[in-house]
Every structure is written in C-alpha cells, then in structure tokens.
Structure 1
C-alpha cells in the first residue's frame, strides 16, 4: 500500500563503495571461520548489522516518518525534533552515516528532520512555522533542494494570495 504523503529519498551512490568494502571484510572474516558458507554468513551478518543500525539509532526519525505517513503530523513533529536533537548532539554519526548507519542517503538526518518538520507544519495549516523551518533548513544546509523548492512554493502562494481590504 502506498502512502498518501509524498516521501523524498535521495541516494548517494558513491557511498555504496564503503558498504561493499564492509560487506567484503565481513565475508572475509567468515571465510577464515567457515570457508564453505562465508558468502552466505557474511551477507546475512551484513544485513543484520545494516538493519539493526538503521532501525535502532535513527528510531525517532523512523517514528516520525511512520506518523507522517499516517497523517499524524503533530506527533510526527515531536519525533523529528527528537531526531534533529540527537543528530545535532552526535553530528559525527550523521556526517559519516554511510559507515556508522550504513545509509546511502544524500541528505543528513538533521536536514531531513528540519524539512519534515516544515512539511508537517504545512499540513496542519501553520504556514508561518512551515516557512520558518524551511528557512532554517536552508540556513543550515544551503544546498537543500527540498527547502529551496518548498520556499519557492510558499513565496509564490504568498505573492499570488488575494489582497484583502484593498
């Protein structure tokens, strides 16, 4: 079943190289232990580690995505704020997420959290807070295409809004 809420996922294909190296190292370790089943055990170990890292460390972010997809935007905002706070405190985990989380995402969790908060505010009708969060996203991540696009849309809506009392 597909979500009614749009989700953007950008992949940094270069980060797949360290993933392959890590998987190769795990397979090599299994080769030293059990040469006949090294590939199977190595691949299974890599998947287990990868799944665990992506589900345990960014759990607040994942909860926010689930609530966002269920259109429970107020609660999603709280989870994205927790995610932002965690990854701000441990910036190195986010910066090196292609190794620490085995994540190939182009966007950092902090950038995603801020943009998602902006999106959630737009969905509950708070355009001012939405714009503030997209501006904050752009201030921290000047190359954020998502924040740039959202701000262009908000600004065009503001410019084209009917003028009352004129």
Structure 2
C-alpha cells in the first residue's frame, strides 16, 4: 500500500564509502568465520545490522514516521521531539550516521525531526507553530529546501486569503 504522505529522502552519495568499509569488515569476519561463500551472509548481516541500528537508535523517528503515514500528526509530534532531543544530546551519532546508523541521508536526524514537527503542525492546522519550527530549521540549516518551500507556500496562501 503506497502512502500518500510526501516523503523526501536526499542521499549523501559520499556516505557509500564508509558504508562499504563496514560491509568489507563484515565480509572479512564472515570469511574468517569459515563461510565458503561469505558474500551472502555478509550482505545479510549488513542489512540486518542497518535495520537494527535504525530501529533501536532512531526508534522515535521511525515511530513518528509510522504515525505520520497513518495521518496521526498530533500523535507523531512527541516522537519527533524526542528524536530531536536524543540527537541533540548525542550529536556524534547524528554526525557519523553513515556508520552509526548505516544511513545515507543527506539530512541529519535533528534537521529531519524539526521539519517533521513543522509538517505535523501544519497538518493539524497550527500554522503559527509550523512557521516557528520551519524558521528554527532555517536558523540552524539555512539551505533547507523543505523549510524554504513550506514558508513560501504559507506566505502565498496568506496573500491569496487577503
């Protein structure tokens, strides 16, 4: 079932290099463990490791996204706030997410959390809070296209209403 909630995922292609190193390490461990064909268990282990890391470390972000896909925007906000707090308190996890979470996203988790909070507020009709969060995104991440576009759209709707 396809979701009709827009999801934007920008890839940081440079992240492939450290992820290939992790895959190489897993491949080496499988080879040293005596697997006759270590490629399949290494890829399986890599995929499993990535899933577990994102499910455990970024669990609040994932729970928030699941609620957004169910259109429970108000319920998703506390999870995104918790995710933002976690990655603010543990900036190294976010900074090195290519290895710590095996995540190729160009957007860090703090940035995603703020954008998601703003989006949720816009969906429940709280434009003032949505605008405040989008502005907060731009203070820290001035090149964030999602926040720039959302604020321009909000401004154009206000002009159309006037």
TM-score by length of 2: 0.96
Separation of aligned partners in 2, 1:157 and 1:92:
39
Instruction: Report the secondary structure of 1:37's partner residue.
Output: coil
1:62 maps to 2:58 = no
What residue in structure 2 maps to residue 34 of structure 1? 34
- The runs of at least 4 aligned residues of structure 1 exceeding 4 Å deviation read none
Separation of aligned partners in 1, 2:42 and 2:35:
11
Aligned residues: 162
Separation of aligned partners in 1, 2:88 and 2:8:
21
Separation of aligned partners in 2, 1:69 and 1:104:
21
Displacement of 1:160 in angstroms is 2.5
Structure 2 spans left out of the alignment, 5+ residues: none
Q: Tell which structure's C-alpha radius of gyration is larger.
A: 1
TM-score by length of 1: 0.93
CA RMSD of aligned residues (A): 1.1
Displacement of 1:142 in angstroms is 1.0
Instruction: Report the secondary structure of 1:71's partner residue.
Output: coil
Structure 1 spans left out of the alignment, 5+ residues: none
